[in-house]
Amino acid sequence: MKVLLKSFSYVFHPLFIPIGGTVAYFLVTPKYSSLEIQSGNILPIFILTVIIPIIFFFILKNLGLIGSIFAPTLAERKYPLYISIILYLMILYKVIPQNYINELYFFFVGLVIASVSILLLLFLKIKASIHLMGMGSLLLFLFGLSIHFETNITFAIAIFTICTGLVATSRLFMNAHSRAELLIGILIGICSQLFMLKYWL
C-alpha cells in the first residue's frame, strides 16, 4: 500500500500535466488535425515540459540547489517554478500562439497564472501543493473540453477525479503537505483554468 500511494506522486507528477492536457485536447477535439499537426505540437511540448526540466533537475542537483524531484523545501521549489514559467511562455509564443489552437493556448496561460501564484505564495512562506495545482488545472480543462465540444467524457473525468484524490492522499501519506497546502494548490489550479474558460468556451 505504501509503494502504491507513493507511485501516484510519481505517475501524476506536475511535469506530466502540460503534455497530458495537450494529448487530451487532441483526443477529445472533433476538429480535424493531421498527424503532422498533432506531432508538431505534442513533440515540442513534451520536450519543453518533460525532457528539458529533467535535464535542469540533474544540473540543479549537481549544483546542490535541489535534492529531490519533489523539491520539498521552500528554497528548492522556486527553481522548478522559474523554469516551468519560462518554458510555458516559450510554448505560448513559439509552439501554440494565440488563435492557432485557442483551447490549448489558454490552458497554458492558466498554467502560467497558477505557477506564478504558487511562486508568489512561496515568498509568503506558503508551500502550496504543485501536484494538486496541476491535477486541478487538468481536471478543469477536461470539464471545459467536454462542455466546449459537447463530448461525453464523463468516465475519463470520473477516473481523473479519483486519481486526484489518490494524489492528495499520497502527498499526505508522504508528509509532503498539510491539508491546507493541498487545498490551496487545487484551488489555484481550478481557479486559474476557470478564469480562462471565458476566453475559449
Q: Which of 196, 174, 42 is nearest to 112 (CA)?
A: 196
C-alpha 191/C-alpha 173 separation (Å) is 26
DSSP one-letter string for 136-196: HHHHHHHHHHHHHTT---HHHHHHHHHHHHHHHHHHHHTT---HHHHHHHHHHHHHHHHHH
In the DSSP assignment, the letter for residue 124 is T
Confidence of residue 32 (pLDDT cuts 50, 70, 90): confident
pLDDT at residue 2 greater than cutoff 80: no
Q: What is the pLDDT of residue 185?
A: 95
Q: How many CB atoms are located within 10 Å of the residue 129 CB? A: 27
Q: What is the pLDDT of residue 60?
A: 87
Q: What is the pLDDT of residue 64?
A: 83
H-only helix segments in 29-129: 35-46, 52-62, 74-90, 102-123
pLDDT at residue 1 greater than cutoff 70: no
pLDDT digits (tens, 9 = 90+) for 130-184: 999 999 999 999 999 999 998 999 999 999 999 999 999 988 888 888 899 999 9
pLDDT digits (tens, 9 = 90+) for 42-55: 999 999 999 999 99
C-alpha 110/C-alpha 116 separation (Å) is 10
Is the pTM higher than 0.75? The answer reads yes
Q: What is the pLDDT of residue 30?
A: 87
Report the percent of the chain where pLDDT is more than 70.
98
Q: What is the pLDDT of residue 87?
A: 96
HSE-CB for 83 with a 13 A CA cutoff: 19
pLDDT at residue 99 greater than cutoff 70: no
